[in-house]
């Protein structure tokens, strides 16, 4: 069973900053990680490979530094990695992102399943997985919480829905977006890290995929950010540092004084 897993490199949540003028996220100089929800997609894919054989190709669209996320996925157990990176991809909304990823998946050709995360912790739309399915005309199951069985040409999955669970049988190839319940992500192994270091990551560009620039990046993005607003902080907080045993005691005293002052105790 050959599987493609699109993963996104995202800023560590506490680092997210926005460019008010452009309406985009400031990504330069920010620490990044694999989108935490994509780790569940990676683990689900690796477990399927362990059971049924085949290989996993992990892909991401992002800046050259996103190769770090791909290598981490290889060190967990993925086989091949592809980076989609080109200035023309910059400013992509979910429409252009899913289009570009779908075009790269077409180039992979021999695949049975695409497994995406439920959503990314930065953009947070949950649209890219379903978008890829639409561009590739693949059957889609979202919010998949378990994979029940795989037969020759079909897969049976359980989806998490508001009322409980829904069982679906999909023909292969198809696309799943998965929720946390599906797996417990493993840590990279030393052997995996060595393999990742030796893995060559090809870079696909607009030119190498023969894509029309009108469909890419900002040009190909129907979403227009009109204005960005930040939530107003309505309550100020007081931080009490508690270093060592005496510090902890002082912090507790201050907390008790505060609660008394507010007549809460
Ligand atoms: C006008 C505009 C400009 C923007 N400019 C940029 C920009 O310059 N750079 C930028 O990074 N974002 C940009 N964005 C944000 C961009 O739309 C989203 O980050 C991106 O389309 C993914 O959407 P999401 O984060 O909501 O992913 P979701 O749909 O929440 O992600 C779901 C799943 O899709 C897969 N996935 C998502 N994104 C990728 C990816 N890039 N590669 C591989 N798999 C992926 C993962 O499996 C993920 O778990 C811009 C948005 C707008 C509206």
- The torsion angles phi and psi of 71, rounded to 5 degrees, stand at -65, -35
Q: Does the Cβ of 117 fall within 6 Å of ligand 1? A: yes
Q: Does the Cβ of 216 fall within 6 Å of ligand 1? A: no
Instruction: Say what percent of the chain tops pLDDT 90.
Output: 75
Q: Work out the average pLDDT over 214-236.
A: 87
Model confidence, pTM:
0.86
Q: Does the Cβ of 98 fall within 6 Å of ligand 1? A: no
Residue bearing the CA closest to ligand 1, atom 9: 91
The answer on pLDDT for 146 being more than 90 is yes
Cα dist from 245 to 82, 114, 122, 248, 249, whole Å: 51, 52, 38, 5, 6
Asked if residue 126 belongs to a domain, the reply is yes
Same domain, 243 and 145: no
Write down the mean pLDDT value for the chain.
Answer: 93
Q: 153-193: per-residue pLDDT in tens?
A: 999 999 999 999 999 999 999 999 999 999 999 999 999 99
- What CATH number corresponds to the domain at position 54? 3.40.50.620
Rg (CA), the chain: 22
Q: Does the Cβ of 129 fall within 6 Å of ligand 1? A: yes
Are 78 and 57 a contacting pair, CB within 8 Å?
yes
Q: Work out the average pLDDT over 195-221.
A: 96
Same domain, 115 and 147: yes
Asked if residue 225 belongs to a domain, the reply is no
Asked if residue 180 belongs to a domain, the reply is yes
Asked if residue 224 belongs to a domain, the reply is no
Q: What is the DSSP string of 127-153?
A: -HHHHHHHHHT--EEEEEEEEEEE-SS
The answer on pLDDT for 14 being more than 90 is no
Domain coverage including residue 200: 3-215
Asked if residue 122 belongs to a domain, the reply is yes
Asked if residue 162 belongs to a domain, the reply is yes
Among 1, 8, 3, which Cα is nearest to 117's? 8
Asked if residue 132 belongs to a domain, the reply is yes
Q: Does the Cβ of 127 fall within 6 Å of ligand 1? A: yes
The predicted structure's pLDDT at residue 236: 74
Asked if residue 223 belongs to a domain, the reply is no
Compute, in angstroms, the gap from residue 259 CA to the centroid of ligand 1. 44
Task: Specify the ligand 1 atom closest to the Cα of 84.
Answer: 42
């Amino acid at each position: 069973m050959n599987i493609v897993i699109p993963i996104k490199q995202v800023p560590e949540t506490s680092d997210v900053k926005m460019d008010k003028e452009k309406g985009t996220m400031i990504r330069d100089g920010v620490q990044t990680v694999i989108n935490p929800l994509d780790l569940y997609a990676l683990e689900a894919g690796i477990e399927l490979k362990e059971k049924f054989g085949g290989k996993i190709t992990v892909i991401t669209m992002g800046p050259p530094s996103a190769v770090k996320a791909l290598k981490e996925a290889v060190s967990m157990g993925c086989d091949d990695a592809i980076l989609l990176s080109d200035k023309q991809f910059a400013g992509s909304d979910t429409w252009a992102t899913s289009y570009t990823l779908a075009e790269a998946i077409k180039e992979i050709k021999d695949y049975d399943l695409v497994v995406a995360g439920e959503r990314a912790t930065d953009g947070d739309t949950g649209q890219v997985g379903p978008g890829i399915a639409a561009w590739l005309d693949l059957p889609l199951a979202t919010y998949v919480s378990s994979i029940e069985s795989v037969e020759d040409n079909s897969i049976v999955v359980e989806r998490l829905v508001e009322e409980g669970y829904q069982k679906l049988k999909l023909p292969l190839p198809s696309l799943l977006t998965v929720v946390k319940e599906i797996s417990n992500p493993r840590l990279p192994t030393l052997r995996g890290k060595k393999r990742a270091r030796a893995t060559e990551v090809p870079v696909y560009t607009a030119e190498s995929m023969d894509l029309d620039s009108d469909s890419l990046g900002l040009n190909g993005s129907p979403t227009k950010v009109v204005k960005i607003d930040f939530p107003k902080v309505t309550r100020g907080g007081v931080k009490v540092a508690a270093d060592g045993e005496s510090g902890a005691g002082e912090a507790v005293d201050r907390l008790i004084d505060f609660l008394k002052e507010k007549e809460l105790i």
